Chain A
Amino acid sequence: MSFDAIPVYKTKTYRRLCDAEYSSIKKHQFVVVGSGPVGLALALFMARKGHEVVVLSAFDFIPGGSKGICYSKEALDIFDALGVGARIVEKGVIWNVGKVFWGQGAEPVYQFDMLPIKDQKNPGFVNIQQYYVEDYLVDALEEMDNVDIRWGHAVIDLQTEENDAIITVQTKDGDYQLATDYVLACDGSKSSIRHLMGLDFKGRVFEDSFLIADVKFKQERPSERWFWFDPPFNPGRTALLHKQPDDIWRLDFQLGWDVDRAEAIKPENVAPFIKGLLGEDIEYEEDWMSIYTFQCRRMDSFVHGPVIFAGDAAHQVSPFGARGANSGLPDAFNLSWKLDMVLRGLASKELLESYNHERTYGADENILNSSRSTDFITPKSPISTIFRDAVLELASEYEFARPLVNSGRLSAPTPCYDSPLSTPDLDMDEFACGPRPGDICVDAPIELDGQENWLLQALPDSFSLLHVGENPVSSDLTTLTLPATDLIAQRYDVGATYLVRPDKIVAARWKQPTFKQIKQAHQRALAQMGA
């Protein structure tokens, strides 16, 4: 296999397995296929829970090219749960504000704040090159004794039975086979596992191409997302400017559908765009150039017997809205605790079906948002363009039209309110505020054992109760009791008790629940029959 066209950020060491692995079939509980952010996050979650983890990566390197640069608050909270959040936030560029410009106008027609709720540990967004994220996840994995990342081991065949699978892996030293109860397919939008199984991946193709020009230059500019409709340097089309670490900036220009990719990417053809946006006398170095087109699509089901798909392998969206990795990471969080429970015999395989239910729902939300943004950004009919321009014209003058401006609705959690794992509120319980079953817990600064802490950080990685106020709760679950300070009362309501899942999603909530009610909700959240 040759990956000549792929830039390399860091080479990793291919290792030959021992002879026995080439001559006989070794059995594993699960194997992670793919070494992108989703596969690595899933591997790290499982490793931290004490499982033996094998990761198969077709590459023997971490690919270069900034690729996915925007990581949402939800993703950062997940990185915190994995112990790599601090490193990512420290290296990354924090931003909360996005501005949208139109035509020649120097003033934004619309702006938004990605962190409307303040007093949370993580910012709305952090920009960082994807290879740093992957590198930090790999570092964390490499520190663990129970992790085996097999660089340069490519899956070339897969045979599935009802309860397990045989994978054929190609290496420089020959092919070998391994057996596994679960295949965790995190091998990206061109997923080889999906192809080998002949599974569908249906959706909508958008007839447009975009140029990514990541360039290095030194200039003081705010850390904000700037988006242009119809700017003078790309008339009738769009452009985007985003800051990354190391003085690298993401410039993105809409090109239209019929584009000669090889021509478009030549420095002399890219330069007018860059100079148009940054000024004639800008001095810059090219870092990474790429042309992309996109589709919005997902698999019908993410769970196929022993094979479970996550991330881009399972669903794909347009890049507007940063909903790729930011929806794949919640896949990993969701799947990891469920698979852990199943492997430890604490839940049946039924629990894995809830992964499919909750995350296909999430994928649909992301596809919906991303398709709507794309239809606004690249109108597909003359009348659609007329409405888009009418919105922009009105938005520059009147407040009412600004919420209609859609330059990408940036990734936000996709709460699934009809999850089979959630227990509906009791009729008698009234809540003035607080997350509903299906919502992620909102972060807040708290004091714990005399120390300043954050709520999301203080919640354990197992099922637990979060309780606000004085009355004791009768339960055998770990309980985090918080005094009803103004902020906690505003976010969680006084006297409320929440059953929180390991992925920090609320499974049930009450005012003064009984021991039995909590027990039943806990069983339901584990998809235990008869609950």
Chain B
Amino acid sequence: MKPEAHLNLMANLPEPDQVYEVLINAHDGLTQSESAKLNAKLILLLINHIGDSKIIIEAIEKAK
């Protein structure tokens, strides 16, 4: 059996500064609610890509 996957809490991004910059810039000029909507869409896109409920729930718990 495959070992169960867990939320990766080690550094995993090859270009952290670039990705962070793109993320922050995406919110330029947006109102609070437009920003919230962008974040919501981003979360939905990413959780679908992850596609593993257990990991997503683990991440939600960690984020609390």
Residue pair B44, A401 in contact (C-beta under 8 Å): yes
Q: Does B36 contact A (CB under 8 A)?
A: yes
Docked Cα-Cα span, A393 to B34, in Å, equals 13
11 other contacts beyond A382-B36, A386-B33, A389-B40, with CB at 8 A cut-off?
Answer: A386-B36, A386-B37, A387-B40, A387-B43, A389-B37, A390-B44, A394-B44, A394-B45, A400-B48, A401-B48, A404-B44
Docked Cα-Cα span, A400 to B51, in Å, equals 11
Q: Does B41 contact A (CB under 8 A)?
A: yes
- Residues of chain B within 8 A (CB-CB) of A389 are 37, 40
Q: Does A391 contact B (CB under 8 A)?
A: yes
Q: Does A106 contact B (CB under 8 A)?
A: no
The 5 closest A-B pairs by CB, nearest first: A390-B40, A400-B48, A390-B41, A387-B40, A386-B36
Docked Cα-Cα span, A391 to B45, in Å, equals 10
The residue on B at minimum CB distance from A400 is B48
Interface pairs (12), CB distance under 8 Å = A383-B40, A386-B33, A386-B36, A386-B37, A386-B40, A389-B40, A390-B40, A390-B44, A391-B44, A400-B48, A401-B44, A404-B44
B: which residues have CB within 8 A of A?
33, 36-37, 40-41, 43-45, 48
Docked Cα-Cα span, A391 to B33, in Å, equals 15
Number of A residues, CB within 8 Å of B: 12
- Residues of chain A within 8 A (CB-CB) of B41 are 390, 393-394
- Residues of chain A within 8 A (CB-CB) of B48 are 400-401
- Residues of chain B within 8 A (CB-CB) of A394 are 41, 44-45
- Residues of chain B within 8 A (CB-CB) of A387 are 40, 43-44
The residue on A at minimum CB distance from B38 is A390
Partner of B37, one of A390, A401, A404: A390
Tell me which of A387, A390, A393, A401 has the highest count of chain B C-beta atoms within 10 A of its own C-beta.
A390
- Residues of chain B within 8 A (CB-CB) of A383 are 36, 40
Q: Closest Cβ of chain A: how far from B31's Cβ, in Å? A: 12
Docked Cα-Cα span, A400 to B41, in Å, equals 12
- List which A343-394 residues lie within 8 A (CB) of chain B: 382-383, 386-387, 389-391, 393-394
- Residues of chain A within 8 A (CB-CB) of B40 are 383, 386-387, 389-390
Docked Cα-Cα span, A391 to B37, in Å, equals 10
- Residues of chain B within 8 A (CB-CB) of A391 are 44
Q: Closest Cβ of chain A: how far from B4's Cβ, in Å? A: 22
- Residues of chain A within 8 A (CB-CB) of B43 are 387
- Residues of chain B within 8 A (CB-CB) of A393 are 37, 41
The residue on A at minimum CB distance from B41 is A390
Q: Closest Cβ of chain B: how far from A185's Cβ, in Å? A: 38
- Residues of chain B within 8 A (CB-CB) of A400 are 45, 48
- Residues of chain B within 8 A (CB-CB) of A386 are 33, 36-37, 40
- Residues of chain B within 8 A (CB-CB) of A401 are 44, 48
Docked Cα-Cα span, A86 to B60, in Å, equals 49
The residue on A at minimum CB distance from B33 is A386
- Residues of chain B within 8 A (CB-CB) of A382 are 33, 36
Docked Cα-Cα span, A389 to B37, in Å, equals 8
- Residues of chain A within 8 A (CB-CB) of B37 are 386, 389-390, 393
Q: Closest Cβ of chain A: how far from B23's Cβ, in Å? A: 16
- Residues of chain A within 8 A (CB-CB) of B33 are 382, 386
- Residues of chain A within 8 A (CB-CB) of B45 are 394, 400
Tell me which of B37, B40, B41, B48 has the highest count of chain A C-beta atoms within 10 A of its own C-beta.
B40
- Residues of chain A within 8 A (CB-CB) of B36 are 382-383, 386
Q: Closest Cβ of chain A: how far from B56's Cβ, in Å? A: 13
Q: Closest Cβ of chain A: how far from B26's Cβ, in Å? A: 14
Q: Closest Cβ of chain A: how far from B51's Cβ, in Å? A: 9
Tell me which of B37, B43, B44, B45 has the highest count of chain A C-beta atoms within 10 A of its own C-beta.
B44
Docked Cα-Cα span, A58 to B43, in Å, equals 53
Docked Cα-Cα span, A382 to B45, in Å, equals 20
Docked Cα-Cα span, A314 to B52, in Å, equals 36
Docked Cα-Cα span, A251 to B41, in Å, equals 31
Q: Closest Cβ of chain A: how far from B30's Cβ, in Å? A: 13
Q: Closest Cβ of chain A: how far from B16's Cβ, in Å? A: 25
